[in-house]
């Protein structure tokens, strides 16, 4: 298993994949760790999460540079990712006891009934490379706070990040094997899922990965949470605050070099402001600095792997051949590294890849709508349902239209984001289940009814 720098295309390090025996041992140890960890006082679990947050903050530059070297994220954004991981740990360090308290249910006067939230056991997380720290901590913080044990199967191009995350929990004082990483390829995931010690699985990744995991877990009757792809609409109405809408749009499409499931991908703009929005959007995109992600001034770094860049370019070419206009960008940059420039497409046909598929890179499709009604119809014209946003000065109108967008989360006059305080997840082909907040910590617990008759 090799870690390759996508900026220089040089091998950073090589790691030995776990043998079948090592995987079995790791799962045995995780299962043993659960017996004690599940009985640990919740206040102790909270303190250890607070310790993890402190370690993350104290070493954020080191971890950020590791992220940047392995998958190419601009280093300033990588620092922000590590800080967000610390925030996620702090949220559950402060709120877990409240979120897991018994829920009393009124029944009859002579009985006491309540729901208690008990951990399930070993939970497997199959995580992606694009936010290599945040995706893992978004899973780990609530899972560990609830008393479960976490096992991480990370993406094969970020093994250094996987081991660094495991080390954070070790340094924080978590019991051995309360959280562990398995350095294995995708071909071994099914065997881990079917292992009797694994009680539940969560996946963040592609539709293909999610469906494969859900199929295996379904046969085993194991709980799953899936956070998959997205083609988020960014709806701009005639009364939108254009200055903030354009500024946010540039960031929403190009942060993390466009490699984000909740990045805005389809910019649906009503006719009245289409030309002005598009001109200002293209101008903002052209001002982005593409280059070495370790340079603090860089806005857009390389794509994480050569194959990903090639797939993105093929989507752009197919869209252009179908009739879309490439206004800026549109082809890989010459030289070392997997660099694809921020790209804007207009005149985007309905069924071309830029309008119907997930473009996982800095490619924006700007689509004209006659009015708000057509804009909402276009926004929902997708098999995905992860996030979306609506831009308008009329907040009541924005809230009404947000209710009509088919997605797991919709923001009015704000960038789509995950936040520890609110639940996150999608519908349709974007998956099911929720992460973060109270809903996230309740995904992997036994909601046990207790009835005490007097």
Residues 382, 398: Cα–Cα separation, whole Å:
20
Integer CA distances (angstroms), 55 to 66, 131, 325, in order: 15, 18, 48
The first and second tokens of residue 4, run together, are: 């390759």
Other C-beta atoms lying within 10 Å of the C-beta of residue 98: 8
Is-contact 78 68, C-beta < 8 A? Answer: yes
Integer CA distances (angstroms), 5 to 12, 78, 336, in order: 6, 15, 11
Active-site residue, from 85, 261, 352, 409: 261
| Residue 158: DSSP 8-state | -
Integer CA distances (angstroms), 341 to 28, 60, 266, 313, in order: 47, 28, 17, 10
- Please name every residue paired with 153 in a beta bridge, in sequence order, or none if there are none: 126
Active-site residue, from 90, 227, 357, 406: 227
Closest CA to 248 of 270, 259, 263, 238: 263
Sequence-distant (6+) residues with CB within 8 A of 90 are: 49, 50, 53
Residues 14, 266: Cα–Cα separation, whole Å:
38
Active site residue 261: yes
Q: What is the dihedral of CA 11, 13, 18, 22, to 10 degrees?
A: 180
Instruction: Assign 3-class secondary structure to 205-269.
Output: CCHHHHHHHHHHHHHCCCEEEEECCCCEEEEECCCCCHHHHHHHHHHHHHHHHHCCCCCEEEEEE
* E-strand stretches of 392-439: 409-412, 427-428, 431-432
Is-contact 250 282, C-beta < 8 A? Answer: no
Token pair 């082909």 is found at 429
Active site residue 227: yes
| Residue 331: DSSP 8-state | S
Is-contact 223 202, C-beta < 8 A? Answer: no
Closest CA to 264 of 277, 276, 272: 277
Cite the active site residues: 227, 261
């Amino acid at each position: 298993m090799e870690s390759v720098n996508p900026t220089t295309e040089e091998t950073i390090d090589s790691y030995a994949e776990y043998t079948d025996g090592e995987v079995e041992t790791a799962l045995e140890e995780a299962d043993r760790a659960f017996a004690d960890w599940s009985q640990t006082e919740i206040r102790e679990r909270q303190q250890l999460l607070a310790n993890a947050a402190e370690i993350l903050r104290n070493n954020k530059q080191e971890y950020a540079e590791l992220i940047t070297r392995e998958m190419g994220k601009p280093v300033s954004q990588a620092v922000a990712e590590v800080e967000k991981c610390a925030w996620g740990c702090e949220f559950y360090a402060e709120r877990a006891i409240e979120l897991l308290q018994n829920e009393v249910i009124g029944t009859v006067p002579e009985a006491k009934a309540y729901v208690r939230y008990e951990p399930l056991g070993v939970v497997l997380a199959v995580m992606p490379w694009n936010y290599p720290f945040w995706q893992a901590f978004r899973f780990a913080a609530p899972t560990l706070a609830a008393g479960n044990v976490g096992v991480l199967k990370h993406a094969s191009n970020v093994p250094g990040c996987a081991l660094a995350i495991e080390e954070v929990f070790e340094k924080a004082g978590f019991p051995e094997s309360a959280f562990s990483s398995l350095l294995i390829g995708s071909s071994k995931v099914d065997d881990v899922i079917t292992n009797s010690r694994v009680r539940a699985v969560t996946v963040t990744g592609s539709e293909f990965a999610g469906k494969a995991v859900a199929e295996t877990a379904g046969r085993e009757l194991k709980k799953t949470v899936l956070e998959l792809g997205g083609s988020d609409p960014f709806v701009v109405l005639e009364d939108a605050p254009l200055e903030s809408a354009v500024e946010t749009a540039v960031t929403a499409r190009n942060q993390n070099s466009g490699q984000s499931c909740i990045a805005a991908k389809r910019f649906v703009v009503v006719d009245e402001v289409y030309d002005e929005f598009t001109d200002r959007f293209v101008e903002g995109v052209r001002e982005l600095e593409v280059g070495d992600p370790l340079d603090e001034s860089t806005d857009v770094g390389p794509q994480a792997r050569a194959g990903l860049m090639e797939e993105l370019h093929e989507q752009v070419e197919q869209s252009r051949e179908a009739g879309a206009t490439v206004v800026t960008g549109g082809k890989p940059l010459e030289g070392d590294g997997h660099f694809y420039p921020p790209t804007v497409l207009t005149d985007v046909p309905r069924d071309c890849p830029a309008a119907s598929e997930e473009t996982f890179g800095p490619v924006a499709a700007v689509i004209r709508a006659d009015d708000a009604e057509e804009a909402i119809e276009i926004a929902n014209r997708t098999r995905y349902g992860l996030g979306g946003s609506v831009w308008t000065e009329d907040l009541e109108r924005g809230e009404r239209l947000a209710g009509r967008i088919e997605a797991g989360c919709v923001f009015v006059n704000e960038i789509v984001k995950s936040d520890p305080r609110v639940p996150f997840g999608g519908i349709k082909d974007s998956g099911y289940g929720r992460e973060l907040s109270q809903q996230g910590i309740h995904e992997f617990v036994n909601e046990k009814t207790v009835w005490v008759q007097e």
